[in-house]
Structure formats: C-alpha cells, structure tokens
Chains A and B, each alone.
Chain A
Amino acid sequence: MILIRAKRFDTLILGFILLVVSVRCSRELSDCDGADLNVDALNSLKATIGSSGPRAFLVVPNPIEATQSASVLATDSGLSRVTDPFQLGGLMTSTRLENEFLKVRIKSIQDEVSSLATPNTKDGSFSYPVSDVHYSEVMAYYAVSNVKRYVEALGFPVIQNRPLYVMVRGNDEDTAAGEVNAYYLHNRRNTSLPREMILYGDTAHTPGVDRDVYWHEFGHLFNESVSGDVGIDMAGESGAVYSEGAALHECLADHLAESVSNRGYIGRWVAQNFSSVKAGDPLRSALKSNDDKNSYQNVANFDATGKNLDRYRLAEWCSRVLWDIRTQFSKESPQRGAFLSDRLVFSAVSLLKKDASMKQFREALSKADGEMYCGLHSKSIKNAFESRGYNDAPTVLSNPLQLSAAVNVYSVDGSNITKPTSLPGSTAFFTVKIVNPNSAVARNVRVQLEAVDENLVPIAYSQSYGDLPAGATILTTQANGLDPMVYGVNGGVPTNSKANRIKYRLKVVIDNGPTTTNTGDFGL
C-alpha cells in the first residue's frame, strides 16, 4: 500500500515536471508575437484618420503615383479624377487644421490665422486644387495624423510634451534661395520652442504635395520618441557632417514612410525637383537593384572622394536591409508579417545608444527579435545583413590606427575667415591623417576632440569617416576635397583665455579595435 502511494506520488511529481517543461518548450507558438496587434485597425488606419470630422479631398500619395504618370503637374485638371475623400479626425474645431499637438502653418509659426486653410465647400469640406498652398496644409494634417496613429496602433508612444508645427512652405530666409528641402527640428535644448517640420520650395513639384515627405520627417520625431527623448545621433547634433547615427536616423525615417505606404520607396513627386533623379524615379528606394548601394562596402568604406561621407548612402542601404527583413516577415504571414516587422524594427531603435552605430542596430534587431518573437527570425535578420555585404563579426584589430594632426587657427566671423592676431576668440580646425596599419578593415572610424583644460571648448567634437579598409588612409585636407572646416573636428579658444599654447586631446575610436589617443598643443 505504501509502495503504491509512493508510485502515485512519483507519477504526480513526474507529471508536474513534464507539464512545466512542456509549457516552457511550447512558448514560441503562443507567446511569440508580443502584445495585442489589431490588424484590422492597422489596415484601416492607412485609409482614414477618423470616422468623424470634416472631409478632405486629396490626391494620395501624390499626383505621380495616383495617375501613374511621371509628367503630371499640380495644375493638371485631370487630377480631380484621382482625388479621394478622407475624414480629418482629431481637429479641435472643424474649421482649423490643428489640435493640441499638431498645428499646420504655411510659412512660420507666427502665421496669421486668417491666412490659413479653412473649409471651402458648402458641406464644410476642405477641397483645394493641388497647386494651391492650402492643399498642402490639408495634406500635412492628413499625413502627419495618419502616420502618428499608425505607430501608436503598433504600440509605440509619440512624444507630445511640446506641439509639432508643420510649415508647408517655409520662409525662404531660412534656407538657400530656390532650395527644395524639408527638415525636422527637435529643438532638444531650446525648451521654449516647439518641434518643427519645415518644407521648402515653391516649385512645380512642391514638397508639400507629397505625403512621403511628411511621413519621412515624422520618422525623425518618432525616432526621438522611441529613444526616450535622448536621441540616437549626438555627434550629428553637435555638428558632425557624417555619423552612423545620422545615417540610421534617415534609414529609419525612410523605412517608416516605406512601411506605412507598403511601397518600398519614397518621394516620387518631390524627387522631380532634382536633376540627379531620373523622371518618375523615387527619391530613395529600398527596392532598387541596379545601383551601387546594395553592397555595404560600397556605402560604408571610406573613399578618398568623400562620397560615402553622405548619410543618405548608408541610409538607403540600411533601408534595403530592413525591407528584406520585412519581406521575409510578410512571406511568413501575409496578414500580419509586415506589422510584426515594423514593430520589431522600431523596438530595436529603443535599444540604441546616444551615438548609435550600425553594429548596435544589428545587435538590437536580434535582441528585440529574441525578446518579442523568441528569436525566430535570427537567421532572416542575419541573412538580410550578410546578403548585402555586412559582416557581423569583423576581425578584431590588434594595432591601433595611426593618427597625426595639424591645427589651423582662424578668426571666424560669419563667412569671413581670417588669420587671427591673437588666440583668444579664435577657432582651431584640425586636419587629421589616420592610417589603418592592419590587414583588416577598421569599422566605424571616428575622431573625437577633447579639452584638456578650460582653454579649449570643442564645438564639432566628433567626426565619423565610415569604415577604413586595410592599409588605407584618411586625410582631411582641402586639396583632397575634404575641407577640415567641414569634415574635421574643431574647437574655440575662449575670449578670456590667457594661454599661449592650447592643449588638446584627440582620439580615434573604432568598433573593432583599440582606441588611439594623441595629445598635443597649438598656438599662433
């Protein structure tokens, strides 16, 4: 009897252990795609931004896409045939394109309210010709509200502690004459200022007509939000002309626009402003296969011409990697894969540091996949990077890079640059020569300038140069096309400095090897 009881007890214990083990082993099928995802809601968000509010008549995403004609103009009367109605939800009043967070303006924050778009039909709708600036205002409200709701539906926050002003045709005085551009200002330190999205260019293909422009710029605000309002590109924000953090910012902004539209490219309308883009082609594409941006080495390796010190080249490569990952997710689940991929990619952003690198991002994607999807896509992620030339595990370099520097001191007064008569108040520009003596590539090479005492204030304190192949050299001279005033670090000598010689410390930091540190001093 005692024996039988013991056996029963053993059986129960064994059963319990097996139950625990089995529950653990089967976790991947039940718990591996994170918190609730309302696919229907996410899909419907792409069509409208509310079930109430005034209607807006828009050509989405832009006239070229809507008509499939690269030669269409904003003034073409035929555009009325491809105009669709959209409900504008979330307005504070039905007559103004704003709510507590989003405020649409034309030229500046100070625009007179009377100059802004109001409903212009009998039933209270916004129905303006595409060529009218008020049309761009309506597009701005629709586009920004739409993409904001999309990321929120995915489960991400959007930082709203300050309003976002969108200027659909910014003041010319804030940019070069005739420039066509769009940018986002986070105004991180200037707490009295709002967030600003400013579009420029009163041209036949004005950016305000293109939904992708708003979605891309919103992507920058979104990156800041997911980072916890700390940012991922501190070097870029301090004046670096190039950094991997800056490239990631652009890549993720492109990817957001490409994902929400599900098109894999951006800016077919706005691209028509640029002679470098073929008629009808998009501004940037995650799908293009016939250019040199499909191989990591082509966009990341330092090139004496400086062509890879352009954040958009690495950004476009990166957007292609992300599109590959998204495509794989979509193959696995046509209904939900793309949303799950978007959630993965932007979750990875939350793991990035203040000066983010491609290495960090690659690792963050795997970590996010491991946490959210039980690591089921680790191979797909690895494949996506490797098939485009990215080596996860570059050779660890044994020798530090060799660094030498020359300092030129100037007195800078706007565009007037002269040789100074005294050190105080001058600016020191560093010309650097960096040699990779190793037999393998140095990854993510950047120079950092530090003060040794109060006689130097580094301003553009960090510059990145991409990957430096084995035996290659970086030389930032004007003769080389790499003006040290643009591509180098610099610092100011305070006006109250009494020193005759100014001490400094320069570092060369890489992802896969030791840091090089040089100290020196300079005078007049």
Chain B
Amino acid sequence: MKKIFGLLLVVGLAAYVIWGVKSNLESFAKNMNPKIESPAETPRDTSRVPTSVHPMELNSENPAVIANEYLTSKKEEWKIQPYHELRTSEVKLPLGTKITYSVFQDGVAIPGQEIQIVISKRGKILSIDNQYQALEKADPLASDYSTVLKRAKEKFEVVNEEPNEVLLYVVPGIQKPAYAYPITVKSKKGIKEELLIRASDGEVIAKAVSRKEF
C-alpha cells in the first residue's frame, strides 16, 4: 500500500514538473521568437496572465541592509571620502525599494552626487545609479545668507527672501564644491529664475529651470 502511495506521489510530482517545465519553455520560446508583430496583432494569451495576486515578499531581509552591504563593498572602488556623510532615504515602490544616498559635507548637502540603489522585493539589486565623485573638501562657508541676499539684491529683483538651506554645488568639471544659496529672482524679462549664488563671491554659478510645461 505504501509502495503504491509512494509511486503515485512520484508520478504526480513528475507530471506537475513536466507541466511546469513545458509551460516555462513555451513562454521562453515565445519570448525568443524573432518575428516582429505589431502589438495589435499580438494574440491574446490568457494562459500567461496571472489570475491571482500574491505579494512577492519572498525575502524578508531589509532592503536597506542589502544596499548598505553593497555600498560598503564598493567604498574603496568608488573612493568615498571620509569627510562625506551619506544619508539614506527610502521610497517603497511596487517593484521594491529605492534607496537614495545623499551626500553631505559638514551637514550640508551636495546635490547631484546621489547614489541610488533599487532593491527588488526578492532582495535582488535591480539598479544602481552612482553619481558620486570623490570631490575635494569644500572650503569653509565664507558668507551667511543675509550677506549673500544683500549682494543678490544689488543685481537682481529678489522674489522670495525666505532663507533657503545652503548647499554645496559642483560646477561641471571642477572637483571642489562651493557653498551656494538658492535665490529666486525675477529677470529683466520678467521671468522667475532660480539662481544659485556662490557664498564666497556672490557669483551666479547655476540657474535652475524646474518648470515643466503643459
């Protein structure tokens, strides 16, 4: 009786496996088919459409831990400097978790240097965007906001005098970031512009156009 039961179990499992493998091979073959069809011509294939929904939390490991481990393994290769602090933020997405490491020096952000790692729900690294550069340490902050604002008002019509956080800006091609304040001004054409004014000399070192039109 036990032998018959064992045999049935094996036969059942074998059939299940053959069905699974066949299904996967068909799917593989379909995807490998080089024939190009327009989407409208692609036949409806309901057998390949999932019929139920299951969360994909197969790996309970914290994505931040996975990202941190990866980052630690790359610290030398990416030449991450000891005076750069990497602060993390996380965004939970259907695909997984996007972890952004923002770079700071002495508590001041250096935008544009972010490292972003997307970890899948299975704990796999899906994407890495490394914008980090081993920048030199910035010179100390030379002027506070009120001084920079005063200088800016001599040249521009300042729209918003509310203090923005100081940041460290990297001029393209230059390896040492500079302290700068974002200040919104109205140009002589009457258009609002977001300028970055360098703290050391009041020079405009960037203009931002974050406007996205209809």
Q: Measuring CB to CB, which residues of chain A are less than 8 angstroms from any residue of chain B? A: 8, 11, 14-15, 18-19, 21-22, 24-26, 28-37, 154-157, 173-174, 181-193, 207, 213, 216-217, 220, 225-226, 228-230, 234, 236-239, 246, 249-250, 253, 267, 270, 283, 324-325, 327-328, 331-333, 337, 343, 347, 350-351, 353-354, 364, 367-368, 371-376, 378-380, 382-384, 386-387, 413-416, 448-454, 456-461, 492, 494-496, 505
> Which chain A residues lie closer than 8 Å to B46 at the CB level?
332-333
Contact B100 A228 (CB under 8 A): yes
> Which chain A residues lie closer than 8 Å to B118 at the CB level?
350-351
> Which chain B residues lie closer than 8 Å to A225 at the CB level?
91
User: What are 30 A-B residue pairs whose CB atoms fall within 8 Å in the complex?
Assistant: A11-B6, A15-B10, A34-B53, A155-B93, A156-B94, A157-B91, A182-B214, A183-B214, A184-B211, A185-B210, A188-B111, A189-B194, A191-B165, A217-B214, A230-B116, A237-B210, A238-B207, A324-B39, A328-B39, A332-B49, A343-B94, A354-B129, A371-B122, A383-B42, A414-B189, A449-B172, A450-B173, A457-B206, A458-B171, A496-B201
Contact A187 B210 (CB under 8 A): yes
A182, A228, A237: the one contacting B208 at CB < 8 Å is: A237
Contact A353 B129 (CB under 8 A): yes
> Which chain A residues lie closer than 8 Å to B91 at the CB level?
157, 225-226, 228, 350
Q: Which of B23, B165, B194, B211 has the most CB of A within 10 A?
A: B211
> Which chain B residues lie closer than 8 Å to A216 at the CB level?
214
Give min CB distance, A13 to chain B, whole Å: 11
Minimum CB distance partner of B57 in chain A: A35
Contact A461 B48 (CB under 8 A): no
Contact B95 A372 (CB under 8 A): yes
Q: How many residues of B contact A (CB 8 A)?
A: 90
> Which chain B residues lie closer than 8 Å to A228 at the CB level?
89, 91, 98, 100, 114, 116
Bound state CA distance, A331 and B55, in angstroms? 23
Give min CB distance, B37 to chain A, whole Å: 6
| Given A189-B194, A191-B165, 4 more pairs with CB closer than 8 A | A230-B114, A379-B30, A386-B36, A451-B173
**A226-B93 in contact given A451-B173, A459-B206 (Cβ < 8 Å):** yes
Minimum CB distance partner of A343 in chain B: B94
**A157-B208 in contact given A189-B194, A228-B98 (Cβ < 8 Å):** no
Top 5 A-B pairs ranked by shortest CB distance? A414-B188, A450-B173, A25-B20, A192-B162, A451-B173
- Would you call B146 an interface residue if the criterion is a C-beta within 8 Å of the partner chain's C-beta atoms? no
B53, B187, B205: the one contacting A414 at CB < 8 Å is: B187
> Which chain B residues lie closer than 8 Å to A236 at the CB level?
209
B14, B98, B207: the one contacting A239 at CB < 8 Å is: B207
Contact B214 A238 (CB under 8 A): no
**A193-B6 in contact given A238-B209, A351-B126, A354-B131 (Cβ < 8 Å):** no
**A14-B93 in contact given A351-B118, A415-B189, A459-B207 (Cβ < 8 Å):** no
Minimum CB distance partner of B54 in chain A: A31
> Which chain A residues lie closer than 8 Å to B9 at the CB level?
15
Contact B212 A253 (CB under 8 A): yes
Bound state CA distance, A29 and B30, in angstroms? 16
**A457-B171 in contact given A25-B20, A192-B162 (Cβ < 8 Å):** yes
**A327-B95 in contact given A18-B13, A333-B46, A454-B174 (Cβ < 8 Å):** no
Bound state CA distance, A263 and B131, in angstroms? 38
Contact A379 B31 (CB under 8 A): yes
Give min CB distance, B195 to chain A, whole Å: 10
Give min CB distance, A112 to chain B, whole Å: 19
Contact B164 A15 (CB under 8 A): no
Bound state CA distance, A29 and B22, in angstroms? 13
Bound state CA distance, A478 and B132, in angstroms? 37
